[in-house]
């Protein structure tokens, strides 16, 4: 199946700093990517839909100024957590949809820890 | 909004036994996905079902979507330790919307 990568796989940062997470579709083009957040022992919660060449669509309750999303190309979307705080510590997972098959493939996730 | 209810929330079975995980919605399911996740890792795509009554199998895992497209089941035959993990069902909240809502997951443990 199609492969989606994320970088970094884990990151530790100080409170107040910004962190960028990359999501790449390695062998297919994705006009739409999705960013999810997962807390321990909980399911995935959709944060936003990332559209190539246009603004992201955020889910209700997600601060767009805090979680900046950029979908610069058909294979790359980035999520920047700005002015991170300990409550932003979580597991962030991206997904991309393989258009011909219409299957969503997920990245391996990025564990963010804010001290 | 669409809510997906998975049952059971956790399951412990003896190696070699069969098991079934259910995913139920009060609304019609569009693009029903099954994924497997190991703790702290990403989701591994298992199967996608779209048509009422559809059934797909891969190795020892079979997924079904009922005729009304409101319930899906995942059945594992002759379970093995490699089947252990968290199983998640996800579905498009609106037909064609692409974004997925997920059930709370089923934690599967296989005892040798």
- Residues of chain B with Cβ-Cβ distance to A108 below 8 Å are 41-42
A33 and chain B: CB distance < 8 Å anywhere?
Answer: no
- Residues of chain B with Cβ-Cβ distance to A109 below 8 Å are 40-42
Q: For residue B110, what pLDDT is reported?
A: 97
Q: Distance between CA atoms of A75 and A52, rounded to whole angstroms?
A: 9
Q: Mean pLDDT score of chain A, rounded to an integer?
A: 91
The CA–CA distances, whole Å, from A42 to A111, A115, B20, B43, B106 equal 14, 22, 21, 14, 10
Indicate if the pLDDT at residue B109 is higher than 90.
yes
A93 and chain B: CB distance < 8 Å anywhere?
Answer: yes
- Residues of chain A with Cβ-Cβ distance to B31 below 8 Å are 102
pLDDT band at B28 (very low <50, low <70, confident <90, very high): confident
pLDDT band at A101 (very low <50, low <70, confident <90, very high): low
Average pLDDT over residues B35-45: 89
Query: Strand, coil or helix: what is B6?
Result: strand
Q: Tens digit of pLDDT for each residue in A15-52?
A: 999 999 999 999 888 888 999 999 888 889 999 998 88
Angle at B90 between CA B88 and CA B93, to 5 degrees: 155
To which H or E segment does residue B14 belong? strand B10-14
Indicate if the pLDDT at residue A81 is higher than 60.
yes
Instruction: Answer for the pair B58, B48: CB distance below 8 angstroms, yes or no.
Output: no
- Least CA distance to A57: which residue of chain B? B99
């Amino acid at each position: 199946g199609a492969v989606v990568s994320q970088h970094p796989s884990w990151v530790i940062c100080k409170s107040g700093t910004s962190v960028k997470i990359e999501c790449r579709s390695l062998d297919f083009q994705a006009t739409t990517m999705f960013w999810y957040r997962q807390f321990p022992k909980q399911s995935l919660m959709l944060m936003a839909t990332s559209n190539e060449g246009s603004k992201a669509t955020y889910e209700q309750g997600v601060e767009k100024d805090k979680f900046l999303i950029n979908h610069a190309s058909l294979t790359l979307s980035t999520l920047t957590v700005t002015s991170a705080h300990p409550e932003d510590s979580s597991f962030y997972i991206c997904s991309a949809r393989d258009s011909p098959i219409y299957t969503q493939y997920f990245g391996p996730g990025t564990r963010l820890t804010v001290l | 909004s669409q809510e997906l209810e998975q049952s059971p929330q956790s399951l412990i079975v003896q190696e070699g036994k069969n098991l079934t995980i259910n995913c139920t919605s009060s609304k019609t399911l569009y693009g029903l996905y099954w994924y497997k996740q190991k703790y702290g890792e990403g989701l591994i795509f298992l199967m996608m079902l779209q048509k009422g009554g559809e059934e797909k199998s891969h190795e020892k895992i079979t997924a079904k979507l009922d005729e009304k497209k409101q319930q899906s089941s995942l059945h594992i035959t002759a379970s093995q330790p490699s089947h252990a993990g968290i199983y998640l069902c996800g579905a498009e909240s609106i037909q064609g919307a692409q974004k997925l809502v997920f059930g709370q997951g089923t934690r599967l443990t296989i005892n040798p």
